[in-house]
């Protein structure tokens, strides 16, 4: 069943992780798991220092330099009860973020993920949500377990 916009927003905001898809100029879709926060119609994805990386110059950001559009997909799977399945897809465009915005989003990340309490991220990639769509095996807000 198609989710209402408000239910999509709630599930997106409460999701602990998602898959960010950007477009590589030669390969096409590049999809990577990410953590994120949602503030109104903005989504912030950290370039963190917690997980090892070969470089803070991530391919996803190079992809966004060529095409600022992205998709964030969040879902819930329950192999025992398919009525509890759901997914939300946010279509987004990367936007510039100012220092005040960066600080606020950084604080939100620190509240959502304890690993970010000391803010060990090199940068934030900030997006504006341009579209939301979602589906669930049952209607309504996020089911509580």
Helix, strand, coil percent content, the chain, rounded in steps of 5: 25, 40, 35
Q: Which CATH number fits domain 5-136: 3.30.43.10, 2.30.110.10, 3.40.50.11540, 3.20.20.140?
A: 2.30.110.10
Q: Give backbone dihedrals phi and psi of 113, rounded to 5 degrees, phi first.
A: -125, 115
- Are the C-beta atoms of residues 34 and 16 closer than 8 Å to each other? no
**Within a 10 A sphere around the Cβ of 90, how many other Cβ atoms?**
25
pLDDT digits (tens, 9 = 90+) for 112-139: 998 888 766 778 899 999 999 999 998 6
pLDDT digits (tens, 9 = 90+) for 48-106: 766 666 666 788 989 999 999 999 999 999 889 888 899 999 999 999 876 677 788 98
């Amino acid at each position: 069943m198609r989710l209402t916009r408000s239910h999509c927003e709630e599930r997106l905001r409460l999701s602990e992780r998602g898959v960010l898809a950007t477009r590589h100029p030669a390969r096409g879709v590049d999809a990577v798991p990410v953590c994120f926060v949602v503030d109104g119609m903005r989504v912030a994805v950290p370039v963190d220092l917690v997980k090892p990386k070969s470089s803070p110059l991530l391919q996803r950001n190079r992809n966004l330099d060529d095409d600022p559009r992205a998709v964030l997909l969040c879902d819930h799977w329950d192999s025992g009860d398919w009525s509890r399945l759901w997914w939300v897809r946010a279509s987004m465009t990367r936007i510039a973020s100012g220092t005040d915005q960066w600080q606020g989003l950084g604080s939100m990340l620190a509240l959502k993920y304890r690993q970010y309490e000391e803010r060990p991220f090199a940068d934030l990639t900030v997006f504006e949500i341009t579209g939301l769509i979602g589906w669930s095996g049952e209607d309504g807000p996020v089911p509580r377990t």
